[in-house]
């Protein structure tokens, strides 16, 4: 009742102070992802000096105090706790009411309190007319919000060229945009103890780095999922680079890989399975035993070794997937894999699709364990329909839509995957983690996974992202010129096209 009264007062105030046309103010600080219901004044701000949290989760109150102190220093609002009075049963749901009496948030658990605070941080600005920050103000209004998709993820690549602060920044941005999973794919950069020869000598990802990043992510509401490509992409390098993280530096390990470029693991070699199992188990432990593990499996080639050619490749492929699935299941994790080898190239159902399979590998879709999560990637403009979604769903799989940077594709895939009630979405960045692309991918994946039916692609995403990433750079206490902004250097040199 109290909440309803607050909302009514807010709406009454807003109707007096805010003409309808003002709400279209393009300079209004918007929230990413766009909340389900949001009515904020573009010009009427009140001091953010106290925050009342209606929740029964004391851990959530401690989390709020800790993070508000970190964000706002000595100007942090004072926090008061009251018993939860909300009715929403949706995981992650929260509401915010702001008026001249102060700021009130209502959320049953830590997850919702965290999301409420992320929204508040995006709309709070320093008091005006001072030289330095002396306090914070927030716009009068109300927000009622909850996530739509259960799995809201971003796939992040750690190349040898990538620095740890860049990975941390992307993880923190994922959390700030209310994503709850990050798949972290090392590109020959994971410093394995059981198979150190598998990765580049310069591999930067130490156990200490991983444990630090996993802890930061968990604190912010994100689970990090490790990835190891167990089929194609065994070179752990971009195809066009012609590099191979294992056999360029150590040719003695060639039998583990197909003779043709070493692109595929040799599926008939039991020693390859031993290595894959040992590294997967090691990674699971380093990543804090998450509930998922990504096994890659995209863009594999046909076999070129006599042993793999002796038998149907589909049989070897299915056995290999089952082997990885069982290893992971034994450690409490579900396998995730890309879909393209499970769709036959040339099959008319998948016209204009990423279908890289043969009739042989496509058979695996029917024979694999159905608790594998299929990551269905399409990087083109939005289509009217996505027949592979219903194909995999009818076979019994949980399914994630995985777009890249095409915005119409992100919008169409989000709505299509939501329409069939699938698991969620996993955005991808690949090597485009600078400039407009990173801003567009993050803002649009956030909107697509949180509130896919909204007009999220209409946001002024670039300016918002710049502001939000600056918040993250403050949290990380970054100091150096090249660590700020969305380009490391304003004038790229020949060594770093994207940096
Ligand atoms: Zn082979």
Q: Where are the domains of the chain?
A: 23-145, 151-460
What's the 68 CA to ligand 1 centre distance in angstroms? 56
| C-alpha 313 – ligand 1 centre gap (Å) | 10
Distance 116 CA to ligand 1 centre (A): 52
CA distance 402 to 427: 5
* CA 292 / ligand 1 centre spacing (Å): 28
CA distance 387 to 116: 37
Beta bridge partners of 426: 153
Residue 197 alpha carbon to ligand 1 centre in Å: 20
User: How close is the Cα of 100 to the center of ligand 1, in Å?
Assistant: 70
Q: In CATH terms, are 23-145 and 151-460 the same topology?
A: no
The correct answer on CATH 3.40.50.300 for the domain covering 151-460 is no
Ligand 1 centroid to residue 284 C-alpha, Å: 26
Spell out the residues 6+ positions from residue 472 whose beta carbon is closer than 8 angstroms to its own: 169, 172, 173, 176
Distance (Å) from CA 315 to ligand 1 centroid: 13
Burial group, residue 334, by CB count within 10 angstroms (0-12, 13-18, 19+):
middle
Cβ atoms of 60 and 113 closer than 8 Å: yes
The reported pLDDT for the residue numbered 492 is: 64
CA of 358 to the centre of ligand 1 (A): 17
d(CA 87, CA 80): 20
Compute φ and ψ for 95, nearest 5 degrees.
-135, 155
CA of 459 to the centre of ligand 1 (A): 49
231 CA to centre of ligand 1 in angstroms: 11
Residue-level pLDDT at 257: 98
Cα–ligand 1 centroid distance for 135 (angstroms): 65
Question: Cα separation of 76 and 324, whole Å?
Answer: 49
How far away, in angstroms, is 258 Cα from ligand 1 center?
A: 5
CB-based contacts of 206, cutoff 8 Å, min separation 6: 191
Distance 204 CA to ligand 1 centre (A): 30
Nearest partner of 178 among 417, 462, 448, 398, judged by Cα: 448
Cα 156 to middle of ligand 1, angstroms: 29
Reported CATH class of domain 23-145? alpha beta
What pLDDT is stored for residue 433 in this prediction?
A: 87
For residue 367, give every residue at least 6 positions away whose Cβ sits within 8 Å of its Cβ, in sequence order, or none: 318
Give the separation between CA 369 and CA 348, rounded to whole angstroms: 26
Contact 371, 334 (CB under 8 A): yes
| Ligand 1 ion: nearby residues, β-carbon < 5 Å | 266, 268, 305, 308
Q: Give residue 12's pLDDT.
A: 45
345 CA to middle of ligand 1, Å?
22
What pTM did the predictor assign?
0.93
Query: How remote is the CA of residue 301 from the centroid of ligand 1, in Å?
Result: 11
Q: Residue 314 C-alpha to ligand 1 middle, in angstroms? A: 13
Q: What's the CA-to-centroid distance between 61 and ligand 1, angstroms?
A: 56
The Å distance, Cα 259 to ligand 1 centre, comes to: 8
pLDDT of residue 28: 65
- Between the CA of 320 and the centroid of ligand 1 the distance, in Å, is 12
Give distance in angstroms: CA of 187 to centre of ligand 1: 22
For 138, phi then psi, to 5°, come to -135, 150
How confident is the model at residue 490, as a pLDDT?
Answer: 87
* Adjacency order of strands within the sheet including 373-377: 223-226, 181-186, 151-158, 424-428, 398-402, 373-377, 334-338, 292-294
> What does the pLDDT profile of the chain (499 residues) look like in tens digits?
444 444 444 444 444 444 444 444 555 678 999 999 999 998 999 999 999 999 999 999 999 999 999 999 999 999 999 999 888 889 999 999 999 999 999 999 999 999 999 999 999 999 999 999 999 999 999 999 999 999 999 999 999 999 999 999 999 999 999 999 999 999 999 999 999 999 999 999 999 999 999 999 999 999 999 999 999 999 999 999 999 999 999 999 999 999 999 999 999 999 999 999 999 999 999 999 999 999 999 999 999 999 999 999 999 999 999 999 999 999 999 999 999 999 999 999 998 788 999 988 898 999 999 999 999 999 999 998 999 999 999 999 999 999 999 999 999 999 999 999 889 999 999 999 888 999 999 999 999 999 999 888 866 688 899 999 999 999 999 999 999 999 999 886 544 444 4
Q: What's the 305 CA to ligand 1 centre distance in angstroms?
A: 5
| pLDDT (0 to 100) of residue 443 | 95
Q: How many A from CA of 268 to the centre of ligand 1?
A: 5
Ligand 1 mean position, distance from CA 49 (Å)? 66
CA of 430 to the centre of ligand 1 (A): 28
CA torsion sign for 455, 459, 461, 462 is positive
């Amino acid at each position: 009742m109290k909440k309803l009264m607050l909302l009514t007062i807010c709406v009454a105030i807003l109707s007096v102070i805010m003409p309808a046309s003002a709400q279209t103010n393009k300079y209004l600080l918007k929230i990413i992802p766009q909340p389900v219901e949001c009515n904020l004044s573009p010009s009427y701000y009140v001091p953010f000096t106290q925050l009342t949290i209606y929740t029964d989760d004391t851990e959530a109150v401690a989390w709020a105090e800790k993070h508000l102190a970190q964000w706002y220093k000595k100007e942090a609002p004072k926090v008061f706790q009251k018993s939860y009075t909300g009715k929403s049963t949706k995981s992650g749901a929260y509401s915010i009411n702001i008026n001249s009496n102060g700021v009130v948030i209502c959320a049953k658990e830590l997850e919702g309190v965290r999301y409420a605070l992320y929204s508040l941080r995006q709309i709070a600005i320093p008091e005006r007319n001072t030289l330095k920050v002396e306090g914070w103000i927030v716009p009068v209004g109300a927000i009622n919000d909850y996530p739509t998709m259960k799995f809201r993820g971003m796939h992040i690549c750690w190349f040898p060229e990538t620095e740890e602060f860049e990975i941390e920044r992307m993880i923190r941005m994922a959390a700030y945009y209310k994503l709850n999973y990050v798949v972290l794919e090392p590109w020959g950069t994971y410093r394995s103890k059981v198979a150190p020869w598998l990765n580049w000598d310069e591999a930067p990802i130490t156990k200490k780095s991983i444990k630090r990043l996993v802890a930061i992510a968990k604190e912010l509401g994100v689970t990090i999922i490790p990835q190891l490509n167990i089929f194609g992409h065994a070179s752990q390098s971009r195809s066009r680079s012609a590099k191979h993280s294992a056999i360029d530096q150590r040719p003695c390990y060639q039998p583990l890989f197909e003779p043709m470029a070493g692109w595929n693991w040799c599926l008939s070699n039991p020693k390859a399975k031993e290595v894959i199992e040992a590294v997967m188990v090691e990674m699971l432990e380093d990543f804090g035993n998450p509930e998922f593990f990504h096994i890659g499996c995209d863009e594999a080639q046909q076999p070129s070794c006599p042993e793999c050619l002796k038998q149907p490749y589909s049989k070897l492929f299915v056995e290999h997937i089952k082997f990885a699935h069982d290893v992971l299941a034994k450690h409490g994790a579900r396998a995730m894999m890309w879909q393209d080898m499970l769709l036959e190239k040339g099959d008319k159902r998948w016209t204009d699709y990423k279908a890289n399979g043969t009739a042989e590998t496509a058979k695996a879709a029917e024979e694999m364990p159905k608790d594998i999560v299929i990551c269905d990637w399409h990087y083109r403009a939005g289509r009217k329909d996505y027949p592979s979604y219903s194909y995999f769903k009818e076979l019994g799989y949980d399914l994630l839509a995985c777009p890249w940077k095409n915005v119409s594709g992100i919008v169409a895939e989000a709505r299509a995957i939501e329409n069939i009630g699938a698991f969620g979405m996993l955005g991808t960045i690949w090597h485009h983690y600078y400039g407009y692309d990173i801003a567009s991918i993050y803002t649009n994946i956030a909107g697509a996974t949180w509130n896919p039916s909204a007009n999220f692609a209409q946001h002024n995403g670039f300016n918002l992202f710049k502001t939000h990433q600056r918040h993250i750079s403050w949290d990380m206490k970054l100091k150096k010129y090249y660590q700020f902004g969305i380009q490391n250097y304003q004038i790229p040199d020949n060594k770093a096209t994207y940096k």
